Amino acid sequence: MSLSIPHPDAPRLVADAALADQDLHAWACLDPTAAAARHGPLAGLVFGVKDVLDVAGLPTRCGSPATDDRPATADADCVAILRAAGALPLGKTVTAEFAHVAPGPTRNPHHPSHTPGGSSSGSAAAVAAGMVDFALSTQTGGSIIRPAAFCGVVGVKPSYGAVSRGGMRVMCPSLDTIGWHAYDLDVAARVADVMLPRHACDAIGQPRLCLLPMQPGYQLDRSSIDALASAGNALAAAGYAVAGIQAMPHALDLLDIHRTVVHYELAHALTVLVPDADAVQDGRLSPRLREAARQGLAIGREDYEATLARLHAARQRAWELDFGDADLILTTGALGPAPEGLSHTGESGFNKAWSVLGWPCLHLPTTHDDRGMPLGVMLVARRGADHALLRWARDIHRLVDRRAALPSRSPSNGAIHDPTVSRA
């Protein structure tokens, strides 16, 4: 394996990113001494790392003043794999506080008064703004897919457990999944080739799709309905088998499972991650996080274990019982375009069920609304079919993408994207 060495372009790349980030606020910290292997399958690619994952020499603050500035002594497993493959970690991207709901300072590159989503806000925004080729992110509910949808980039949420969480500040052990945002599908797939295991179900043929237009309790924006219908019609016209269903089976039960597991596990994780009791009283933890912790600590151990048993039973339920012979589910990862305002990260309800099930999800940007805000669709596959999902997505995206042609771009050559211009 090639040794990791300081990258000669790192200081310039960091300076360019810092300049472009003055109004965007996607970065928690940057590393002008960043190093990577000389050679490898990802050589030449630059990436960001969500600030719940360790990068050697940089602090892991989790978007909270309740943590400290001590630098990590080693990379998280996922960062080490990418660095060894030749990719350059440029720094730490902003996360919502402890990867929950209280947003960080990041703005949406397409419109600064709109949320970039969360909790992986900095990762999606840094990719959308052209500062990096891809960025590591995490998802508990919708923290990869929703920012991808709001910022108009590719979002990869792998199967639960597919990526090692070594060196991650895990908030919800039963749900937390490491994934990434990427400039395009080619970059997303190259990262997957390095990061994800292969499975027997990666066989390729034209997939059968199940179109899912809604879930109980949530109303899609008209623009999202149109974007999903347009994608379904384009695929059907191209000869894909596309069958529709009205709603996801057991959706309300999955949302209930998610709510209980998240609150219980987050509350108990915080007692380890923030052992300083004064942090709760002196304002270093936000009111939202304190309330979430209060709700979690009120859940009894027996209720939590019963809910966890329901989660495991849901993951064992055969795909075919609910989705028949479909290979992919075609749906949406957001209820609409990024809403205006920076005090919230948007509704993640259309993602939580997939996080409970542990199935791989992929957001594909496809169009914009009449204000220029990104819209897209999401593909969901069986657990373990991550590589098949990405390969199927190449042809699917070509057919459903209604944006302009992608311009040439290379962060390693110092190009920083103007977010007012469509990237695709």
Distance CA 153, CA 364 (A): 7
123 is catalytic: no
Give the closest residue to 246 by CA, choosing from 328, 168, 331. Answer: 331
Pairing of strands 4-6, 88-93: unpaired
Taking the CA atoms of residue 255, residue 256, residue 258 and residue 263 in that order, the dihedral angle to the nearest 10 degrees is: 140
- What residues contact 283, with CB distance under 8 A and at least 6 apart? none
92 is catalytic: no
50 is catalytic: yes
In a 10 Å sphere around its CB, with 0-12 CB exposed, 13-18 middle and 19+ buried, how is residue 395 labelled?
middle
Distances (CA, A) of 84 to 3, 4, 39, 77: 8, 7, 8, 11
Question: Which residue's entry shows tokens 């990379």?
Answer: 75
Q: Are 338 and 345 in contact (CB under 8 A)?
A: no
| Catalytic residue selected from 4, 50, 120, 348 | 50
Distance CA 318, CA 331 (A): 20
Distance CA 24, CA 34 (A): 22
| Catalytic residue selected from 4, 119, 121, 355 | 119
| Catalytic residue selected from 120, 137, 143, 286 | 143
Bridge partners of residue 135, in order along the sequence = 48, 181
Q: Are 108 and 114 in contact (CB under 8 A)?
A: yes
Active site residues: 50, 119, 143
